Structures are given as C-alpha cells and as structure tokens.
C-alpha cells in the first residue's frame, strides 16, 4: 500500500537521517518506487550523505511556490541500483536563514503544498513511498510534514529526557492529528540486547514504560559510525546485523 512516512524525533542526533535513508534504500531494493525528502531545512544533510551536488531546484523552491515538485526530484536510481529518488533541502546559509524567518501565512501555504504531494507523488508520479526526514522537536517544517504523513516514525535514544519528551510529543501532538505512530529506540548498548529474546524483552519494557507503540530497539553499532555517514549503510553492508534489523523494521512499518 502507498504510504507517506515522516521520520521525526524529540531531540537531535538520535538517528533520524540514518533511519530514513536506510528505510528508503530498503523499500527501493524491494522493488518499490521511493522518494526520500530532506525536510530538515535548518540542517540539511542528504546532499552530503549521498554526494548529490547537481540539484537545480530544492524543496525550498517547491514550498516557496517557484517550481513544480517534478523539477526538484533527483533520480538517484543509477547510483544505488534501485528505484530511489531524492528531494533535497538547500544547504546554503542564506537559504537556512530564509527558511527560519517564514511567517504563519507562508507556513500555511507550505502545508497546502505538502498535502498536495499525496496526489502528485503517489497518484500522478506513481511513487509507492514518500519518506520525509525532518528537523527534531516541535518546529513548523516538522509538524507540517507530520500532518501530511500517514505514519510517523519517532527515533529516540534511551536517554530519559528523550523518552519523556517523545512521550509528551506523541500524546500532545501526534494524537491530536490522529497519526499512526511507531517508536524506534536507537543506540541501545549491544550487551543489553545480544539475543533476540533480550531485544524483544527490552522492546516490551519500553512499550509498557512509555505507553507508546515501540516497533523495535536497535543496538548501537560502531560499524555504522565507522562509515562516517557518507553512504547508505544497508546498501554498503546488506548482510550486517544492523541492516537485518532495519529490514525487519521496514516490514513492520509496512503493516502499521
């Protein structure tokens, strides 16, 4: 089933971009047509991770109403060997400054344009998935993405401040917009969940503790850090345990 997924978090550095890029790659490898959008206008990163320097138009331009979404989408399929398309955020300081100074009226129009993506991307351009990587916390661009998504995936660490913030955010924000939500607890020390049973036990513990739908707990792998974030991990290392866990998560999200 066609889906728009927003990947969000309460705090920064939890692994949103890592999750969204890998989920996009996994769905694309499974023969789906996938669009991956960098909606983190305050700290764009997708252009650097995937080394795309030739974008003529940015998502900023689409939201500003100066171009069509077709002009923004960059075909990245050749590079990864699957149906992956990108929408990039303008990384220039000028663009970041401009995006953070938008007024309420602009944000309202931006929401309208994001909502219309359902029709243009999923129906007209026949995409199966749109995955939006967002800015952490309660920001206009992130909430706009959440409102236009079908499913919201929240990536949190084990940090108590992160868990508590996530809990509040889900109950006081997502629930108001009636969003399907899934939580991923990331960067869990591997010794805590070295077996499948331990992983499932910890997942249940978090679920009961936070009263949130926890999809999975993901161990912290130094191998992921070693790659320095300049590639999509699951494409580089398809047999790695991290990739396998992400594949399981991707399948669970499909069923949400």
Partner 1 sequence: MKSREKTIRKNEIQLLEKIKESLDKLNEKMEIIIDLQKQEPRSNIPEQLPDALDVMTLLSLPDHLRKTAITICRLGRATADEVAEQTKRARAVESAYLNQLVLMGYLKKERVGRKAYFYVEKEEK
Could you list the residues that contact partner 1 (CB under 8 A)? 65, 103-105, 107-109, 111-112, 115-116, 140, 143-144, 147, 173, 176-178
Pairing of strands 84-87, 74-75: antiparallel
Q: Which among 6, 124, 150, 27 is positioned nearest to 68, based on CA atoms?
A: 124
Q: What distance in Å separates the CA atoms of residue 35 and residue 14, rounded to the nearest whole number?
A: 22
Closest approach of partner 1 to the CB of residue 144, in Å: 6
Q: Which is nearer to partner 1, 107 or 248 (CB)?
A: 107
Q: Which is nearer to partner 1, 122 or 232 (CB)?
A: 122
> Bridge-partner residues for 153, per DSSP?
7, 182
Q: Which is nearer to partner 1, 115 or 251 (CB)?
A: 115
Helices of type H across the chain: 16-29, 46-49, 59-64, 69-72, 77-80, 93-99, 104-115, 117, 140-148, 160-169, 196-210, 222-226, 233-236, 241-255
Closest approach of partner 1 to the CB of residue 193, in Å: 36
Closest approach of partner 1 to the CB of residue 147, in Å: 6
Q: Which is nearer to partner 1, 66 or 225 (CB)?
A: 66
């Amino acid at each position: 089933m066609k889906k728009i997924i927003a990947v969000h978090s309460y705090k920064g550095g939890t692994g949103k971009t890592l999750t969204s890029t890998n989920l996009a790659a996994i769905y694309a490898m499974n023969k789906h047509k996938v669009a991956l959008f960098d909606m983190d206008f305050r700290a764009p990163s997708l252009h650097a991770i995937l080394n795309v320097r030739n974008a003529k138009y940015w998502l900023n331009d689409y939201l500003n109403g100066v171009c069509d979404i077709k002009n923004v989408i960059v075909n990245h399929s050749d590079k990864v060997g699957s149906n992956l398309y990108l929408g990039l955020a303008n990384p220039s300081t000028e663009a970041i400054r401009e995006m953070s100074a938008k007024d309420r009226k602009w944000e309202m129009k931006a929401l309208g344009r994001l909502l219309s993506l359902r029709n243009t991307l999923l129906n007209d351009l026949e995409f199966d998935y749109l995955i939006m990587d967002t800015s952490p916390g309660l920001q206009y661009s992130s909430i706009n993405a959440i409102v236009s998504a079908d499913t919201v995936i929240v990536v949190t660490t084990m940090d108590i401040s992160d868990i508590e913030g996530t809990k509040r955010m889900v109950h006081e924000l997502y629930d108001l917009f009636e969003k399907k939500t899934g939580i991923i607890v990331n960067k869990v020390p591997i010794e805590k969940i070295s077996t499948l049973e331990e992983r499932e036990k910890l997942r249940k513990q978090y679920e009961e503790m936070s009263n949130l739908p926890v999809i999975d707990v993901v161990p912290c792998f130094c191998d992921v850090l070693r790659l320095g974030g300049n590639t999509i991990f699951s494409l580089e290392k398809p047999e790695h345990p991290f990739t396998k866990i992400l594949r399981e998560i991707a399948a669970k999200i499909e069923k949400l």
